[in-house]
Structures are given as structure tokens and as C-alpha cells.
Amino acid sequence: MTRDRLADRDAAAFWFSALCACAGILIWTLWVLPVSASVAQADPQPLGRTAEIDLGAGERIGVWGGGISAMLGTMECAVIGPDDIELPQRGGPSLSWDDTLWWMTPRHGFEQRAQFTSVEAGLHTVTCTDALDTYDGEFLLAGDVFGTGSIGLGRNGASDFAVGTLLAVGAVFCPLIVVLVPGVIGIRRLVSRRRRARRAGDADAPWTSSLEV
């Protein structure tokens, strides 16, 4: 009965590990690597200048900043759409790319500071400055890691987690689970096998002694 229960647990753990493997591959293929490549390909601009980017309707883009101004939070940006209307910007969740995947950012010191979504297709202009007009820095336009919306987890979905947070955590922990779960199961099975062999040896010992007498 115990062996059957352990076998069921091992099977469930292996299936969970396989699910994490699929999720990890999707996250890295569709999110981590494309964002990292977009940051590497972007052309940084010094604060005070304007960057232009051609976007389709509904396309989301991230504004990344580097330098003292971005680090101190004094970098401010304005986004103007093709209709000459300023677009709203949105900050990121409390836990995001910069907390778990900073080592995948190809440009040292750059972090995403805001995101915006285009309303109309066309050329968008982004101008970033230092609010105190004191500190230097750079900015670039690249892939968005904040995401939009949230997913309810926990009992009855009572706890909401931002999509960007789930992706940032999944990109790191899914590969770890894929490596750790089979290893832990293998070690546990090896220990259990040795214990059973030891018990079988102890059970045979009295019979051996009586035959020798």
C-alpha cells in the first residue's frame, strides 16, 4: 500500500516536472530571449533627446532607462502618438524581470521604467529627461516585460499576481523544478531500496544462524 502511494506521488511529481519543462521552454522562447534580443538591438539615446519607433495599433513597448537619473527615479518620459496625443504610461509590478532575470539584460545598468501601448499605427516619439535637470542617463525602447493584467491563484483565485511577475518567477523556478524533482525522487528511491535490502538481510540473519548451529 505504501509502495503504491509512493509510486502515485512519484508519477504526479514527474508529470508536474514535465509541465514545468513545457512552461519553461515557452517562457524562455516567447518572452525571455525575444526581450533580451530587443534590448541588445535597441539604440540608446541620452536624456533630453527624442527616440522614434514605428508601431502597429495596440502594440506594447517598454521604456528602459540607465544611468543615475533612472536609478534615482528622476527620469521622466513623454510619449506622443501619430495623432499628436500624449499616451499614458504604466509602471511595473513589485516583482518583475529586474528581480530575477537582470543577468539576461544585455545592456548593463538598464531597467525597464515604464510601458505604453499604441492606440493608432504609425510613428511614435518618446522624449525622456531628468526631472531635476541634474543627472545624466540614457533610455531606449525595447520589449515590454511588465505585461498587462493579473492571474488569480490560490484558493478560489483569491490572490492576484501580475502577469509580468508570474513570467519572471516561472523563467527561473521552472528550470529548477525540472532539475530538482527527478533528482530528489531518484535519491529517495535509492535510499528506500537500500533500506529494504537491509531489512531483508536482517530478516534472513536468524535463519542463517539456526542452520549453522
**Domain spans in the chain, listed from the N-terminal domain onward:** 12-155+158-166
Side-chain half-sphere CA neighbours of 203 within 13 A = 6
Alpha helices in 68-162, H assignment, sequence order: 68-72, 97-100
Contact assessment for residue 151 and residue 80, using Cβ atoms and an 8 Å cutoff = no
pLDDT at 94: 86
All residue ranges of the chain with pLDDT < 50 are: 1, 209-211, 213
pLDDT at 9: 78
Would you state the cell numbers that stand for residue 25, as one nine-digit string? 521552454
pLDDT at 199: 73
Side-chain half-sphere CA neighbours of 101 within 13 A = 26
pLDDT at 205: 57
Distance CA(145)–CA(31), nearest Å, equals 8
Q: What is the dihedral of CA 187, 188, 189, 192, to 10 degrees?
A: 120
pLDDT at 211: 46
Q: What are phi and psi of 140, to 5 degrees?
A: -150, 160
Tens digits of per-residue pLDDT, 133-181? 999 999 999 999 999 887 877 555 556 789 999 999 999 999 999 999 8
pLDDT at 213: 46
